[in-house]
Amino acid sequence: MRVSFQGVTVVALLADPYAPTEIAQRLARTLPDRLADKSGQARRFDVEVVSEPFTARTEDPPTLMQRIMDRGREGNWDIVVALTDLPLHSHGREIVVDLSHEHGLALVSLPPLGGFRLQTRAQQAVEEAVLSLTSPRATGPEGAPGGQPLRGPFIGRLTPIHPGQVGAEDMADLRYIVSGPRGYLRVLLGMVRANRPWRLVPDLSKALAAALATGAIATLDSTIWSLATSLGTPRLVIAMVGSVALMIGWLIVDANLWHRTDEVSPEARKTAVLYNTSTVLTVGIGVLVCYAGLMVINLVWALFILTDRVFTSATQTPLHTTDYWTLTWFVASVATVGGALGSGLESDEAIRAAAYSKREQERRILLQDGHGD
């Protein structure tokens, strides 16, 4: 591929299916005009979106860059920018962007961009990558083409993104990585966002049915009324934390969501910790959303059935407004335990579908089968 410095520059956004493709399609609406405005060279840009699983069976950056180059040769494009929602690693660091100015290629990993304002950050990363690739290349002391550094808010002083080491085996001539606690947190949040934990609620129908039934029955039990009014806030908090932790643990263990690795290298172990932490957070957020929903439903149910006369005759204490809240809180914890037991009726595939994005499901299946390159 050769970059056209006059006329129209054709940019292909090669995106993995699902979330990367959705982001690329939104980018394509405004990217040509934004690139034309920022290039300042009276250049026009055409942007095409190509949705293909170019990361299938591998997360190795050199292999991916070779695939991107091979795919670029098949198309009539000047520049290819590839987008993936899988985290990419090299030399113990998380890759954000790999650039090859010689071949007009860029590889962008979305998780290091974080879990918030992802569309905006992806737009910044793609714009700066394209502008860098279309800039006239400098040459090093030995005449080799040098990479043009990125610019703008994508790599500003307030971000944990900075240039990284490029290995001899890499096709890239310029790499940006994240490191340190802030960088790790951004990757983690990006992975959790890709999993979309809020989908856990509607997808676990049997577990939710069990939780709702448990909550409805518990709200009718006068023993639960007496117990709830006798518990102080610390015990109610302990009951909530315990029930939520039980639900999280049950889902992870029962559906075999825990990522294991046979490799002993520090990088492999760090990667395993990253994936397992994202799993716990993903499932945890989903369970907390379920817990909040149970509280709302149980509160409405309690307001409907409880009267001061019935409550007083059973507990020997008058019914106060705070008692509705206390009862609802405790019943939500009891119902969550019932939901954990009910989740055993779900298939492992249903739980994995609820806990992971499609791309993450595919990646884990390949790793479990030992097919990763």
Cβ contact 128:120 at 8 Å: no
Kindly report the pTM of this predicted structure.
0.78
Q: Provide the 3-class DSSP secondary structure of residue 162.
A: strand
Indicate whether 51 pLDDT > 50. yes
Task: Please give the residue that has the higher pLDDT: either 301 or 194.
Answer: 301
Say if residue 236's pLDDT is above 90: yes
Q: Is residue 194 within 8 Å of 361, Cβ to Cβ?
A: no
Of residues 255 and 31, more confidently modeled = 31
The Cα–Cα gap between 129 and 81 comes to 8
Neighbours of 65 (CB within 10 A): 21
Rounded Cα–Cα distance for residues 249 and 127 (Å): 42
For residue 197, the model assigns a pLDDT of 80
User: How many Å apart are CA 31 and CA 29, to the nearest integer?
Assistant: 6
Q: What is the mean pLDDT of residues 305-311?
A: 84
